[in-house]
Structure 1
Amino acid sequence: MTRVSYFAAGVACMALLAGTAGAQAAAKCITGAHKAPYTLGWANIYSVPTWMKQTTDTISQEVDALKQQGLVSKLMITDAQGNANTQIQQIQSMIDAKVDAILIDAGSATALNRVIADACAKGIAVINFDSLVDTDDLTAKVNTDQGEWGKEAAEWMVNQLGGKGKIIVMNGPAGISVSDDRRKGAEPVLKAHPDIKILAETNTEYNVAPAQEAMTNLLFNNPEIDGVLSLGGALSAGAILAMDKQGRALVPTTGENYRQFLELWKKKGLKGWATMQPNWLGALAAYTAVEALQGKDVPAYVKVPLPIIDDNNLATYIARTKDFPTDGYIYSPYDQAMFAKLLTQK
């Protein structure tokens, strides 16, 4: 497991400002006898995307550490293959198996609410991270601020273009909370700068190939663009590859900590900005569940600060590429000490 470096400073600041992050959960949902070592369930919406594979790896690594501490005995992992109804059934199976805690990356903001309420009513700790549900009938939610994600990306683009220009907006899948919330966060900034004209907008999977195809089609219809407001890293890589293949000049592009995007950014010398949805949100969810099961108070909402990648620290991320898959995400370091600071939020 990697260790805290530059990211720790952001966490420390967040801990000091944590009074605004959410109400204290006091281990909501947890009733009955829960004795270590605990059994955890990881209800994954889909396992194919590399981001999810890396996330599962961080959960497994954290569980291994908790096993060594005598706090966890077993991790049950399911894969709903992108189907919310399947995810509901798998969560129900975890309830029936009487796991102590369930970690959920939701395939729907609403469809899981009933089964989550059932888990809560039966005394199971429920930790929802990344893609969130719209119910608070659970132990805790763990996430970055996706609205802030979109807002900061849009502000960077406006500044790069001096408040005037033609842009293409690239979103992730419609109906997924992280995608929708990023776009909602960008909207007030774009509305406040009417000279930033949106030529076209698209929703694609968080994968390079469909993003490149979508961008290729948009470029044919838009011979002049000044920026790409991409709200996902693989989308950014696809956009750059499409522009490059057509011999188009590269324009300021926002994105995420997707390895190929960062490498293209460095190689092509483009003007870029990125943040991240750290894969270790899953590990933090596992840690939070175990803390709650031990009777400790945890925040109802664990807010993780957004790490920013720009020209000042891009080289730091590029230097760590060997530790990450070619089609993966270069996420910031983490450890249990950092997790403990995040859980001091009130």
Structure 2
Amino acid sequence: MKTITRRLALTAVALAALASAPSFAAEKVVLGVAIPAATHGFTGGIVFWANQAKKDLEKAHPDLQVIVKTASGAPEQANQLQDLQTVNKINALVIFPFESASLTKPVAQVKGKGVYVTVVDRGLTDTSAQDAYISGDNTAFGKIPAEYLAKTMGGKGNLVAMRGIATTLDNERMDAFNSVLKAHPDMKLLDAKYANWNRDDAFKVMQDYLTRFKQIDAVWAADDDMAVGVLKAIDQAKRTDIKIVFGGAGAKGMIKTLMDGKDPRIQANVSYSPKFIYDAIKLTAEARLKGEKLPATYIIPSVLITKDNAAQFYFPDSPF
């Protein structure tokens, strides 16, 4: 499957793919957007950018209607998909699946009714249920922190990790992290538990780690919300052995801490902006208005953020 890197506009390869696609534009595009509710900072950003896309695109395109639905769980999102199809009569869908496995069949059923489907971020377990996939670089999201920790820790020490929700992207991140650690046998990953990209859940998981493990040198929190919970648990336990807490996704509070050097445990981050939902909605809507298709896969790069380049990733007006 070919990977296309995001630029300010579609790449030449993407444009070629669009140009070669047959034109069967509907008179009106009714685009459903199914996303998780704003239960933590990152999904708060997702909701913000999805609604911003609706506002901007409906203003720019009179023949476009965008319907945004937020769900607090996989069953609710599956029900919303049915409503979008039967009640709203959508002919295109952009979905950020709440979970991978449980949403695959409901999405496949929508696609089976002739709806064009773009899946964002949390992939499905069967890619035949989608027309296009847009995501951040989840392999880099796991690889970059592992490489940074290996270098900073001199290739040795005890680590614990937080996982997100059981999704294909979480598996990609964890697999990439572990693949780097294989080259550093003196770095011991003591445990990696799910904390659902949630600061309260991460606080509880970190409390468990602190109780079980007397020496922890670093934490891969794998998300800035989870990193907040991790730091709170460490501070409450008054533990001084943990020298690095590596979060992820570039939340503005964490980037500001990195820029200001306020917490010596926050030394780096990795980019993964929720704005990609805006890009996914825009690309899908504009392609369908022309009766065109997107490339099968469209990947947005993730890069290492340090104090030296943190200002480039600091957006104080963003909700995330």
Task: Report the TM-score when normalising by structure 1.
Answer: 0.79
**Residues 1-346 of structure 1 aligned to structure 2 (within 5 Å):** 11-12=6-7, 24=17, 34-36=26-28, 38-71=29-62, 73-82=64-73, 84-96=74-86, 97-134=88-125, 135-173=127-165, 175-249=166-240, 250-256=242-248, 257-265=250-258, 266-293=261-288, 294-318=290-314, 320-321=315-316, 323-325=317-319, 329=320
Which string of whole-angstrom CA distances, capped at 9 and with x for unpartnered residues, describes residues 163-211 of structure 1?
11111112113x2233222111111111221110122322112122221
Mark the CA change 1:118 to 1:12 in structure 2 (over 3 Å): closer, same or farther.
Answer: closer
Q: Give the corresponding residue for 1:4.
A: none
Mark the CA change 1:71 to 1:163 in structure 2 (over 3 Å): closer, same or farther.
Answer: farther
Which string of whole-angstrom CA distances, capped at 9 and with x for unpartnered residues, describes residues 71-101 of structure 1?
554322223321x233222112212232131
* Aligned-pair identity (%): 24
Mark the CA change 1:218 to 1:263 in structure 2 (over 3 Å): closer, same or farther.
Answer: farther
**What is the CA distance between 1:149 and its match in structure 2?**
1.1
Which string of whole-angstrom CA distances, capped at 9 and with x for unpartnered residues, describes residues 18-42 of structure 1?
86x9x958898x9965124x32211
Secondary structure, counterpart of 2:101 in structure 1? coil
Q: Which moved more, 1:284-293 or 1:241-250?
A: 241-250
Letter in 1 for 2:79: Q
Structure 1: segments with no counterpart, 5+ residues: 1-9, 330-346
Letter in 1 for 2:83: S
**What is the CA distance between 1:160 and its match in structure 2?**
0.8
**What is the CA distance between 1:14 and its match in structure 2?**
11
Letter in 2 for 1:211: A
Q: Are the counterparts in 1 of residues 199 and 229 from structure 2 also a CA contact under 8 Å?
A: yes
**What is the CA distance between 1:107 and its match in structure 2?**
2.3
Mark the CA change 1:191 to 1:72 in structure 2 (over 3 Å): closer, same or farther.
Answer: farther
Distance in structure 1 (CA, Å) of the matches to 2:37 and 2:182: 35
Q: Are the counterparts in 2 of residues 25 and 140 from structure 1 also a CA contact under 8 Å?
A: no
The count of residues paired between Structure 1 and Structure 2 equals 308
Q: Are the counterparts in 2 of residues 164 and 196 from structure 1 also a CA contact under 8 Å?
A: yes
Q: Are the counterparts in 2 of residues 24 and 300 from structure 1 also a CA contact under 8 Å?
A: no
**What is the CA distance between 1:237 and its match in structure 2?**
1.9
CA RMSD in angstroms comes to 2.9
Distance in structure 2 (CA, Å) of the matches to 1:56 and 1:26: 31
Letter in 2 for 1:280: K
Distance in structure 1 (CA, Å) of the matches to 2:149 and 2:63: 45
Mark the CA change 1:236 to 1:204 in structure 2 (over 3 Å): closer, same or farther.
Answer: same
Secondary structure, counterpart of 1:61 in structure 2? helix
Q: Which moved more, 1:190-199 or 1:106-115?
A: 106-115
Q: Are the counterparts in 2 of residues 42 and 75 from structure 1 also a CA contact under 8 Å?
A: yes
Task: Report the TM-score when normalising by structure 2.
Answer: 0.85
Q: Are the counterparts in 1 of residues 24 and 292 from structure 2 also a CA contact under 8 Å?
A: no
